């Protein structure tokens, strides 16, 4: 198999030429059409200076055109940098300044905003305009090595600014190859694609499983249970975050009959509760296959295709991944069954954070294992259970929110003395962001939420702000978040 992503994609484009690759809004594109269009689009991008190693920042709606843009950037050996469509100007400005892209592609109407962000962006263009009078000639593919960077995906951190995880050609190719074997993808599969395509899950895992195996997929703009249920009769696989499964269960149209033609439901990006796992099986007869991954690593573990898919477990490591449990402070490897930090090594582990060599070094052990920040243990059957996180992170509907970022915004306000941001159980999102604030003077929680929306993507804005005269502190003066989490555990119950 080729070690660079374009060659791997091209293999499928050639092999499955006349078969459908993607459907959206009632239209279908074959493998051959996708290759031809992305090659022509690459000609346009090359004229805009996209070349090996150059970053292309993308904030566009989920569409086949965005997918073509991804393939075109890969063809030219550029570095694809997708961003959540919900990011605000303040958030975008950081990414654009940090990544210094040669090209930024935005939605029509966002040009003035994009003209303001980032000092290093050379050209701003809209996705629509890229497709006007597409050149007829195909750009020659660039020569790329397995270790060359194919994409940068930003992930936030417990402290400091978001970090750009650099994913190599080899990272993406190896993980895709492993997963199509493990999950038994064939050209007969049709995937219901309801995830966003600016994250690892929807972009690399879903799209590569489809393209590498010659399968097809239907693009939905976002998850909607009615549309997903309708598609089940003509599809075989769904990949989703736990919220998808929670919402399917809440829809009475989701029945055994509705799911009868499906062969696989995959869940990941956040913990799937054992209760949901069991409720799903009793409703439709399928056991969800839960897997575990990260932006920096792609997929790390997966429950088996055949054999026991254990509720509450994320399964054993993938065949080419080494996974161990260690003591966080010392790095001492712990015996089977003991809880510690999950550390991983393998061909899918990223090449480091963009222009942050020290940060990168601090997240790897000297022997090359990456420290995930997740706490867990390995059971006697080799299956991993995650029991929590060493990192102060909230995962809401499969999206990561770092409390430090939200707290900083609140703490900067004149009407806030101090704020603590916590994750509390939520029936739909798994966890929800909640801020507990000690005000300095007059404080209007709803007005503050509105204002926060200007600087923060909606999923990071606290669903509720609780006002307390005094935040609980320990003897050292540190806010007791654990106590707050316990106190407000039932905030969204029932
Ligand atoms: C949207 N909102 C969210 C939210 N998504 N709030 C908290 N958490 C979320 N995940 C906001 C909306 O902007 C809106 O705000 C309000 O909440 C209600 O939104 P909604 O209509 O209920 O949300 P919806 O559009 O249906 O989206 C929910 C969702 C979506 C769960 C379907 O967030 C989603 O597709 N999540 C998947 C994310 C993902 O792909 N993660 C993979 C990361 S990769 P307002 O202000 O307008 O009311 C990774 C590695 C791995 O983690 O292992 O896979
Ligand atoms: P991200 O940085 O968005 O890629 O998020 C990665 C994090 O999501 C991991 O470090 C885990 O904490 C979490 N995660 C992913 N899959 C699972 C899962 N199946 N169960 C629990 N947590 C998960």
Alpha carbons 464 and 434: distance in angstroms, whole number: 5
Alpha carbons 37 and 301: distance in angstroms, whole number: 35
Q: DSSP letters along 386-430, please? A: EEEESS--EEETTEEE-HHHHHHHHHTSTTEEEEEEEEEEETTTE
Give the distance (Å) from ligand 2 centre to CA of residue 38: 32
Give the distance (Å) from ligand 1 centre to CA of residue 397: 5
Q: Work out the average pLDDT over 4-17.
A: 98
Domain 223-389 in this protein, CATH class: alpha beta
CATH architecture of 394-487: 2-Layer Sandwich (3.30)
Q: Work out the average pLDDT over 58-79.
A: 98
pLDDT the model gives residue 400: 95
The residue whose C-alpha atom lies closest to atom 21 belonging to ligand 2 is 271
CATH 3.40.50.12780 positions along the chain are: 5-182, 223-389
Q: Which atom of ligand 2 is nearest to the CA of 386?
A: 21
- Nearest ligand by distance to the CA of 299: 1
Q: Work out the average pLDDT over 124-135.
A: 98
**320 and 174 Cβ atoms separated by less than 8 Å:** yes
Task: Give ligand 2 pocket residues (Cβ under 6 A).
Answer: 155, 200, 268-271, 290, 292-295, 314, 372-374, 386, 389, 395, 400
- Nearest ligand by distance to the CA of 315: 2
Strands, DSSP E only, in 117-203?
A: 123-126, 149-155, 163-168, 190-193
The residue whose C-alpha atom lies closest to atom 9 belonging to ligand 2 is 294
Give the distance (Å) from ligand 1 centre to CA of residue 410: 22
pLDDT in tens, 413-457: 999 999 999 999 999 999 999 999 999 999 999 999 999 999 999
- Overall pTM surpassing 0.75 (yes/no): yes
- Nearest ligand by distance to the CA of 270: 2
For the chain, the average pLDDT equals: 97
Give the distance (Å) from ligand 1 centre to CA of residue 79: 26
Among 269, 315, 400, 431, the mutation site with the greatest number of ligand 2 atoms within 8 A of its Cβ is 269
pLDDT the model gives residue 2: 81
Residue located via tokens 């992930």: 155
CATH 3.30.300.30 positions along the chain are: 394-487
**CATH fourth-level superfamily of 5-182:** ANL, N-terminal domain (3.40.50.12780)
pLDDT in tens, 236-261: 999 999 999 999 999 999 999 999 99
- The vertex-171 CA angle with 360 and 182, nearest 5°, equals 130
Task: Give ligand 1 pocket residues (Cβ under 6 A).
Answer: 195-196, 199-202, 222-223, 241, 243, 268-269, 293-295, 396-399, 429, 458-459
The residue whose C-alpha atom lies closest to atom 17 belonging to ligand 1 is 459
pLDDT in tens, 158-211: 766 899 999 999 999 999 999 999 999 999 999 999 999 999 999 999 999 999
pLDDT class for 156, splitting at 50, 70, 90? confident
């Amino acid at each position: 198999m080729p070690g660079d992503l374009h060659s791997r994609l091209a293999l499928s484009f050639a092999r499955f030429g006349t078969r459908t690759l993607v459907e959206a809004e009632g239209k279908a594109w074959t493998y051959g059409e996708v290759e031809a269009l992305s090659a022509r689009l690459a000609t346009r991008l090359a004229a805009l200076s996209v070349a090996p190693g150059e970053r292309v920042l993308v904030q566009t709606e989920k569409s086949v055109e965005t997918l073509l843009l991804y393939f075109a950037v890969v063809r030219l050996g550029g570095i694809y940098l997708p961003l959540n469509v919900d990011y605000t100007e303040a958030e975008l400005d950081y990414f654009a300044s940090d990544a210094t892209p040669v090209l930024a592609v935005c939605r029509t109407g966002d040009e003035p905003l994009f003209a303001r962000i980032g000092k290093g962006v050379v050209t701003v263009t809209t996705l629509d305009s890229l497709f006007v009078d597409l050149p007829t000639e195909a750009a020659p593919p660039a020569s790329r090595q397995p270790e060359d960077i194919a994409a940068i995906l930003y992930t936030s951190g417990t402290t400091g600014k978001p970090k750009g995880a650099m994913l190599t050609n080899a990272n993406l190719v190896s993980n895709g190859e492993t997963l199509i074997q493990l999950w038994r993808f064939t050209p007969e599969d049709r995937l219901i694609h309801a995830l966003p395509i600016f994250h690892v899950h929807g972009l690399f895992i879903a799209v590569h499983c489809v393209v590498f195996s010659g399968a097809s997929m239907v693009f939905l703009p976002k998850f909607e249970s009615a549309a997903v249920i309708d598609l089940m009769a003509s599809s075989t696989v769904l990949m989703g975050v736990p919220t998808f499964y929670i919402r399917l269960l809440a829809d009475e149209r989701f029945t055994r009959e509705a799911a009868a033609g499906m062969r696989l439901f995959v869940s990941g990006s956040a913990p799937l509760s054992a209760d949901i796992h069991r409720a799903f099986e009793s409703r439709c007869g399928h056991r969800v296959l839960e897997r575990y991954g990260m932006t920096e690593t792609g997929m790390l573990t997966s429950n088996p295709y055949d054999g026991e898919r254990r509720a509450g477990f994320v399964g054993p490591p993938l065949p080419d991944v080494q996974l161990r449990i260690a003591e966080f402070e010392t790095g001492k490897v712990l015996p089977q069954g003991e809880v510690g930090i999950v550390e991983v090594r393998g061909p899918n582990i990223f090449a480091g954070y963009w222009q942050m060599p020290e940060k990168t070094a601090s997240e790897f052990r000297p022997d090359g294992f990456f420290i995930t920040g997740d706490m867990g243990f390995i059971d006697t059957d080799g299956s991993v259970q995650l029991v929590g996180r060493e990192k102060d992170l909230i995962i809401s509907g499969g999206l990561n929110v770092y409390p430090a970022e939200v707290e900083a915004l609140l703490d900067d306000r004149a009407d806030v003395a101090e704020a603590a941001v916590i994750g509390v159980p939520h029936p739909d999102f798994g966890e929800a962001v909640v801020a507990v604030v000690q005000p300095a003077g007059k404080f209007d929680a709803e007005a503050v939420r509105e204002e926060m929306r200007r600087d923060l993507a909606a999923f990071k804005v606290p669903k509720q702000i609780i006002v307390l005269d005094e935040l609980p502190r320990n003897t050292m003066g540190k806010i007791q978040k654990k106590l707050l989490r316990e106190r407000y555990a039932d905030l969204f119950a029932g």
